[in-house]
Protein backbone atom coordinates (compact mmCIF):
# COMPACT_ATOMS: atom_id res chain seq x y z
CA UNK A 1 0.00 0.00 0.00
CA UNK A 2 2.84 2.41 0.88
CA UNK A 3 4.46 1.66 -2.48
CA UNK A 4 1.26 2.53 -4.35
CA UNK A 5 0.81 5.82 -2.46
CA UNK A 6 4.48 6.73 -2.91
CA UNK A 7 4.40 5.91 -6.62
CA UNK A 8 1.18 7.89 -7.11
CA UNK A 9 2.62 10.90 -5.26
CA UNK A 10 5.82 10.76 -7.29
CA UNK A 11 3.87 10.52 -10.56
CA UNK A 12 1.66 13.48 -9.55
CA UNK A 13 4.66 15.64 -8.56
CA UNK A 14 6.50 14.79 -11.79
CA UNK A 15 3.45 15.70 -13.87
CA UNK A 16 3.13 19.08 -12.14
CA UNK A 17 6.84 19.80 -12.55
CA UNK A 18 6.80 18.88 -16.26
CA UNK A 19 3.92 21.29 -16.96
CA UNK A 20 5.37 24.25 -15.07
CA UNK A 21 6.02 27.32 -17.25
CA UNK A 22 9.45 28.94 -16.91
CA UNK A 23 9.21 32.01 -14.69
CA UNK A 24 11.98 33.88 -16.51
CA UNK A 25 13.75 33.47 -19.83
CA UNK A 26 17.01 35.34 -20.53
CA UNK A 27 18.85 35.48 -23.86
CA UNK A 28 22.18 37.28 -24.26
CA UNK A 29 22.18 39.45 -27.38
CA UNK A 30 25.44 41.35 -27.78
CA UNK A 31 25.76 43.93 -24.98
CA UNK A 32 22.31 43.24 -23.50
CA UNK A 33 20.37 40.35 -21.98
CA UNK A 34 16.82 40.19 -23.31
CA UNK A 35 14.48 39.05 -20.56
CA UNK A 36 10.91 37.73 -20.50
CA UNK A 37 9.18 37.15 -17.16
CA UNK A 38 6.03 35.01 -16.97
CA UNK A 39 2.90 34.98 -14.81
CA UNK A 40 1.93 31.71 -13.11
CA UNK A 41 -0.64 31.10 -15.87
CA UNK A 42 2.15 31.17 -18.50
CA UNK A 43 1.30 34.55 -20.01
CA UNK A 44 4.02 37.20 -20.30
CA UNK A 45 4.34 39.49 -17.26
CA UNK A 46 7.26 41.67 -18.46
CA UNK A 47 9.59 42.01 -21.44
CA UNK A 48 12.73 44.07 -21.62
CA UNK A 49 16.51 43.99 -21.38
CA UNK A 50 19.43 44.35 -18.98
CA UNK A 51 22.87 45.66 -19.78
CA UNK A 52 25.94 43.62 -18.83
CA UNK A 53 26.10 45.47 -15.47
CA UNK A 54 22.71 43.86 -14.66
CA UNK A 55 20.89 47.23 -14.93
CA UNK A 56 17.52 47.55 -16.66
CA UNK A 57 18.21 49.13 -20.05
CA UNK A 58 16.00 49.95 -23.03
CA UNK A 59 12.27 49.46 -23.56
CA UNK A 60 10.25 47.54 -20.93
CA UNK A 61 6.61 46.51 -21.10
CA UNK A 62 4.53 45.01 -18.27
CA UNK A 63 1.35 42.97 -18.79
CA UNK A 64 -1.43 41.72 -16.53
CA UNK A 65 -2.27 38.01 -16.37
CA UNK A 66 -4.81 38.44 -19.20
CA UNK A 67 -2.20 39.98 -21.54
CA UNK A 68 -3.25 43.65 -21.36
CA UNK A 69 -0.43 46.19 -21.12
CA UNK A 70 -0.19 47.75 -17.65
CA UNK A 71 2.99 49.83 -18.08
CA UNK A 72 5.54 50.72 -20.75
CA UNK A 73 8.60 52.90 -20.90
CA UNK A 74 12.39 53.01 -21.13
CA UNK A 75 15.31 52.55 -18.79
CA UNK A 76 18.85 53.85 -19.16
CA UNK A 77 21.40 52.19 -16.91
CA UNK A 78 18.77 51.17 -14.36
CA UNK A 79 16.87 54.49 -14.25
CA UNK A 80 13.47 55.24 -15.75
CA UNK A 81 13.80 57.89 -18.45
CA UNK A 82 11.48 59.80 -20.74
CA UNK A 83 7.76 59.19 -20.89
CA UNK A 84 6.21 56.16 -19.19
CA UNK A 85 2.60 55.07 -19.49
CA UNK A 86 0.72 53.29 -16.70
CA UNK A 87 -2.67 51.88 -17.69
CA UNK A 88 -5.39 51.66 -15.05
CA UNK A 89 -9.12 51.06 -15.32
CA UNK A 90 -10.57 54.12 -17.05
CA UNK A 91 -7.36 56.15 -17.17
CA UNK A 92 -3.78 56.30 -18.33
CA UNK A 93 -1.09 57.92 -16.22
CA UNK A 94 1.56 59.56 -18.39
CA UNK A 95 4.66 60.07 -16.26
CA UNK A 96 7.71 62.06 -17.33
CA UNK A 97 11.02 61.00 -15.78
CA UNK A 98 14.12 63.17 -15.62
CA UNK A 99 17.37 61.94 -14.01
CA UNK A 100 15.51 58.85 -12.76
CA UNK A 101 12.92 60.92 -10.87
CA UNK A 102 9.30 61.81 -11.57
CA UNK A 103 9.20 65.25 -13.22
CA UNK A 104 5.53 65.42 -14.25
CA UNK A 105 2.36 63.28 -14.10
CA UNK A 106 -0.63 63.67 -16.40
CA UNK A 107 -3.82 61.64 -16.02
CA UNK A 108 -5.64 60.92 -19.26
CA UNK A 109 -9.11 59.41 -19.59
CA UNK A 110 -9.06 56.38 -21.88
CA UNK A 111 -11.63 58.18 -24.01
CA UNK A 112 -9.07 60.90 -24.94
CA UNK A 113 -7.79 60.73 -28.50
CA UNK A 114 -4.27 61.92 -29.18
CA UNK A 115 -1.92 61.56 -32.12
CA UNK A 116 1.22 59.87 -30.88
CA UNK A 117 2.98 59.76 -34.22
CA UNK A 118 2.29 61.11 -37.65
CA UNK A 119 3.29 59.46 -40.90
CA UNK A 120 3.94 61.40 -44.07
Domain ranges for the chain: 24-109
pTM of the predicted protein model: 0.70
Q: Show pLDDT as tens, one digit a residue, over the chain (120 residues).
A: 455 555 555 554 544 444 555 699 999 999 999 999 999 999 999 999 999 999 999 999 999 999 999 999 999 999 999 999 999 888 999 999 998 899 999 998 876 556 565 555
Number of Cβ within a 10 Å radius of residue 102: 11
Q: Which CATH class is domain 24-109?
A: mainly beta
**78 — alpha (psi -120 to 50), left (phi > 0) or beta?**
left
**Calpha distance 35→45 (Å, rounded):** 11
Amino acid sequence: MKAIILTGGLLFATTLWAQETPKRENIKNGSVVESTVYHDNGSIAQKGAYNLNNELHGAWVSYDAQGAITAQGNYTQGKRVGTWYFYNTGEINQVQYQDGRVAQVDRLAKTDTRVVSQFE
